[in-house]
Structure 1
């Protein structure tokens, strides 16, 4: 081959050799032809050889080109076959237990006969109720109540399990549960535990009003109602007549302030159902605020049931039920007290009881009217920004003037009340500098209440306070008393036979309500900090980035407001799962230091917890705000605390059915939208009023605020058009505005964060049984499934009074406004889920 490697057009031919002695034996030749013929001239390259060699070279090039072309064709064919194989290769299907569980839940919930572009809620939740029948103990049932019931089951089982080596507060929680479950002892004790508390409060065992005779001298009877409400507050943490709290300063979230007004915590004891109380003075939003199913007190704070009845006959019927109930309650204590006058026969006693219950109800009605005048819009700027502050002497001077103008006799109230409250604490008030926040409506209530009481006989005031206190405690005693409460409840609400929650779950709920941090030991996972929490933190980081990106694209915000918004997003704190200190040795004991619980004193145990809580609240007054948890790790909810610019996500929200669903599309569609909802609350129609430090101060430009308000009208109109056919009524789009904005923002942020997440991690696996669905479709399906539930007509009525839209409209409204949803499900323009007009803020 080397012979063909020369350069140029010609190549050397075969070599000719001659011997060294060869000589010429022929005559000289005459021309070149002769020389060639005789062999004297050696040809450098003959024409024939040259042609032959050129031909061979071209053939080789052709062969090489052909081989290259063949190789190229082979590569193309192989590439096409590879791509074709990839396209037809079965997609990877997730077969983990989390994916299988999620697939089963979605498959059982989905209604494949429904058109997702017509009614996505029906499509995603149409068969949910069939697989999750509503228990008789609930008026409505959904994923949140389903999860909460399971949490209480876990707590119940944990508290009954024989486990050694537990922290002392956890052992005490077990004692509290045991005392609650010991119904034999409770029935045997009867009302004695309540009587012991009445003695602790220096209250009579039976109201003096019942022992009143015709010649009773009201002028000589003395009942110090101020001292009475002080003891009720410090011993039971309960507000009667006066409301008092330690509250974060609206203008400076780093410090606490004294706040006074109408009664707020009117029943500190746990409910028979699993609902949390709502404190209207606390600027805090929850993801899913549930309506209380049943309460031991028939009158919920600031809600008069008869106001919902338009017919006067129904009003009177309900009032009669209440009066009869209170007469029975007072009679039970009167007969057990042994303090009745000897000359009082049963007929005379019944007449007195009827009069006492009637007068109590009448006084309640009068005080309710004063409180009703105090009702304010908790999202109005005047409710927080313009709260005046007063010295205690200034409040006294104001109320004295109102009392005297109403022909009453003014008495010192407010300084004495505060002194009595703080006597149990380590704090000494400075009455000149420790000013009190009192809103104008609250100051009006306090003044009119003082004027009203100045003309009420002391025995009647005693009756009112006595009944309020006994009512909330009696339900936690005997089985007969509990049945009496339940029977009256059924008559008032016309529910027929009400199925009570099983006692074990009632007690688990009660212990969780009172000692939530201790019972959270049942669900505390030591691997949480290394596994679950980092995942959630990544999701939160992506959600915040998504909101920042959406804010950057918003044309209605000026640059300065955008910059301030970015800063608030950056400084937004998150409390995830349970406190970082929770599993540290000795910290739980420190948290519950001073509590005294026993396995056979149910009511005393609850009172002991109340006393610990009120003392801790008072002692924190001089401390700086340390941004504590807004709820317990066992509560199925999530919160945004405006004045702390903090999101709280309890541990149970990081479990199925909200998280740990197998695929990121499902996790982002469920928990991701929950987190986005809470993040968006910081910038909704109310949250936007709190700056990055949680202070209630203007930080948006006037132009931006005006643009924002104009844009919110779209949401008001959209949600006001939603109608509940069962009731024939529409949603209040204005009342639900903040939550609707949060829902819409949450979905948009979660979807943007999910897409960003996919770009980093690559395509995800398919869900079994849903291989035909894209990741985006699964995201939206997960969001729709989050709101699956079933409600009775009574529950739907309660939903209309809530600041959250009914669940089907929380799914429908947010997705109607999402163009990417319409693209994902190929919804034609103008279809119900792809309207021509969309409401978008972020």
Structure 2
């Protein structure tokens, strides 16, 4: 049969046919399930089921659409609510102790009444002096000096405390104890110095004093050259002749002999903690203590009678008077120490007259020699390194002999004998045919004129000159009476200068100067390798990339010079924190091999260390340059060594207040700009002469050199305009050019590095109390705070004679040339901090 018939059969199932003979035998079934299980009932679709299946998928689709719309509405509502909540939610704030410390420091230093676009230095540092009053021991005070003082305090506490360590660490403690034992020093008196004088072939007091009244000057002989040699090898001190071993400017992998005017005039630690500065030249030539870059401990004396008469003298005569009185008193102390009262045939008045005549004679010869030394101390870096001739020792002798004879004096062999005498304590044998000596033109002139002067000077006067030069640097490290003599005269010479440094800090500084690596071992943290050093490496890498990018943008460099610059940047080495070997077992003992220290012999301790260093330096002459550290890890400074294409960042520079400031913006604004400063030194007005290997070569094209020189005039003019009202003087833009370029380049590199760093790592949290400031503003705030300080009129005078600009200008000058600064602080065009003209090189 057909159920729901249609064309061609049942549209809902197959046709079922029964045969005619089929007989139904099925018993009654109760329900449809039974029928289906029995196989007799075939399912037939109904119209209702068909309708239900046809529209079921549409209903599900509609329901899904409704659900999606509902979810979309919920998402929109949640997004709106989130945005509204975020707008009113406080920003993420850094609450670490480092951030809190940095925030407090900045807030206390700032003078927010100042307009940052008018005087940013006042805005950042206006109240710094209130929160950091200048100690009496310093004429100026800033973050660098503050940190160095704290370093010496830490060193002092360590050296005076208990604890064990390698032998050199214990020797450093013993050396500190000997320095602090003033009671023993007073008991020993001047005997330690007199003992040293004997080894130098010098008498206990100058022969010129003539305390017996029957001395025959015409028959007196004195081998000044032999004594000068002994002074060099036993004290490391240059007198009349300057000698050192430097890396070859044209081949930094080897050492060369260098001669000229005296370089190391005081090998002992200074009793005044003056701040060290960069030494861009071979070295500052030092003479009598009028050189502001290195205070001399030889200017200290007081005598009421003579000071009363000095008040009526001119400043020049007053200074000369102070010197002469000091030297007279110093000589008299040695005469008395040697038993002068018992052996002299003179009355006390006659003795004093002879002593003052002696001091006057010294002043005369010293002034003549100082003038010779000063003639080549004003050379610029380019003049010093642009042409350094080399000579054989015979060529030098021939030249100086000609000058001596032209001055109607008798020439004598000097230079070969001097070098043989110095190297006699070493394992090195000189080859005078092949070991040529580097002597600049100015130094050669000094050597010739000095030879002529010495040839015409009586031996007894030469002895007097050498005696006082040696005595004034040793005697200050003896008795309380001598130290008081030095300090009183120092105060008379500089009435507005600082109070004396506490003995404990002076001794800590002395130990640090002579055994800096042992001190560094004691304060070095092993975690530095895994925590701080990787961060500094990352920062340096970013800084170099930033400089490379800036170089790529400049138009004044040709492509070949740019390529050479990239190569130099890539090969620039860095010494970070402290030497890698410092904490290795046995390495410190090897470094200080030969050093002996005794708790009862302070002067001998220093002399022994100096002698060990001299001998090691001489023995290295035939070896290759190992590009070692230029400073101790405890020095608060950073250096670029041109001849090694290396920057050095000591351990204490990687601490607060220069690093570890809580936020990257603050770290890059402070330490980052310091690193950038040193990197830029490799490409400033002086460093450009040294290539990627530290060799002095003309690796810039001529067109690039000319373009660079033309661009530097902008900096010269800009810094020349800086006026110091306290002194009624201007800054010397030419003298400070190299450092100013480094400041400007360092700032631009650090800012570019920070932006790239934040792009990679995401935005940083806000600084508490400075939530309204951006990371860019905090960067510039940190840079300005780096140069906060307080200065006296006298210290400003010293700063004007230095190759660095005054602190305030270092904060202001580079920022005036930064368009990024003007944008960050929204400074109007033409305002003091957003001038119409900017100076930019990199």
TM-score (normalizing by structure 2): 0.90
**Contact residue 213 and residue 345 of structure 2 kept, 8 A:** no
Deviations 1:454-499 (A, max 9, x none): 1111001000100110111111111111111111111112228x52
Give the match for residue 356 of structure 2.
Answer: 354
Distance 2:61 2:182 in 1: 103
Deviations 1:146-183 (A, max 9, x none): 0000000000010011112x111111111100000001
Give the match for residue 249 of structure 2.
Answer: 250
**Contact residue 238 and residue 265 of structure 2 kept, 8 A:** yes
Give the match for residue 273 of structure 1.
Answer: 272
Distance change (3 Å), C-alpha of 1:334 and 1:754: same
Query: SS of 2:243's equivalent?
Result: strand
**Contact residue 280 and residue 378 of structure 1 kept, 8 A:** no
Give the match for residue 233 of structure 2.
Answer: 234
Query: SS of 1:794's equivalent?
Result: helix
Distance 1:446 1:280 in 2: 23
Give the match for residue 141 of structure 2.
Answer: 141
Give the match for residue 4 of structure 1.
Answer: none
Query: SS of 1:475's equivalent?
Result: helix
1:521 shift after superposition: 2.0
**Contact residue 299 and residue 326 of structure 2 kept, 8 A:** no
Give the match for residue 400 of structure 1.
Answer: 401
Give the match for residue 93 of structure 1.
Answer: 93
Q: How does 1:82-231 map to 2 (within 5 A)?
A: 82-164=82-164, 166-211=165-210, 216-231=215-230
Deviations 1:427-453 (A, max 9, x none): 100010001111111111111111011
Query: SS of 1:682's equivalent?
Result: helix
Distance change (3 Å), C-alpha of 1:244 and 1:88: same
**Contact residue 250 and residue 385 of structure 1 kept, 8 A:** no
Q: How does 1:636-647 map to 2 (within 5 A)?
A: 636-647=636-647
Question: Are 1:421 and 2:399 matched, yes or no?
Answer: no
Distance change (3 Å), C-alpha of 1:220 and 1:332: same
1:378 shift after superposition: 3.7
Q: How does 1:595-634 map to 2 (within 5 A)?
A: 595-634=595-634
Distance 1:590 1:686 in 2: 36
Give the match for residue 785 of structure 1.
Answer: 785
Distance change (3 Å), C-alpha of 1:688 and 1:279: closer
**Contact residue 292 and residue 801 of structure 2 kept, 8 A:** no
Distance 2:283 2:687 in 1: 9
**Contact residue 715 and residue 740 of structure 2 kept, 8 A:** yes
Q: How does 1:732-751 map to 2 (within 5 A)?
A: 732-751=732-751
Distance 2:717 2:488 in 1: 42
Distance 1:393 1:746 in 2: 47
Moved more, 105-114 or 127-136: 105-114
Give the match for residue 28 of structure 1.
Answer: none
1:212 shift after superposition: 6.4
Distance change (3 Å), C-alpha of 1:810 and 1:276: closer
Deviations 1:540-592 (A, max 9, x none): 00100110011111111110000000000000000000000001111111111
Distance 2:820 2:277 in 1: 36
Distance change (3 Å), C-alpha of 1:793 and 1:828: same
Q: Which runs of 5+ in 1 are unaligned?
A: 1-11, 21-43, 300-308
Distance 1:634 1:742 in 2: 23
Q: How does 1:706-717 map to 2 (within 5 A)?
A: 706-717=706-717
**Contact residue 272 and residue 294 of structure 1 kept, 8 A:** no
Distance 2:363 2:234 in 1: 25
Distance 2:357 2:580 in 1: 56
Give the match for residue 658 of structure 1.
Answer: 658
1:822 shift after superposition: 0.9
Distance 1:455 1:179 in 2: 43
How many correspondences in the alignment? Answer: 790
Query: SS of 1:246's equivalent?
Result: strand
Q: Which runs of 5+ in 2 are unaligned?
A: 1-9, 19-45, 285-290, 301-309
1:64 shift after superposition: 6.4
What RMSD, in angstroms, separates the aligned Cα atoms of the two structures?
A: 2.8
1:775 shift after superposition: 0.8
Distance 1:526 1:627 in 2: 23
Distance 1:515 1:615 in 2: 16
Distance 1:351 1:785 in 2: 56
Distance 1:796 1:519 in 2: 32
Distance 2:314 2:133 in 1: 36
1:66 shift after superposition: 5.5
Give the match for residue 39 of structure 1.
Answer: none
**Contact residue 180 and residue 507 of structure 2 kept, 8 A:** yes
TM-score (normalizing by structure 1): 0.90
Distance 1:786 1:543 in 2: 18
Distance 1:570 1:57 in 2: 68
Give the match for residue 575 of structure 1.
Answer: 575
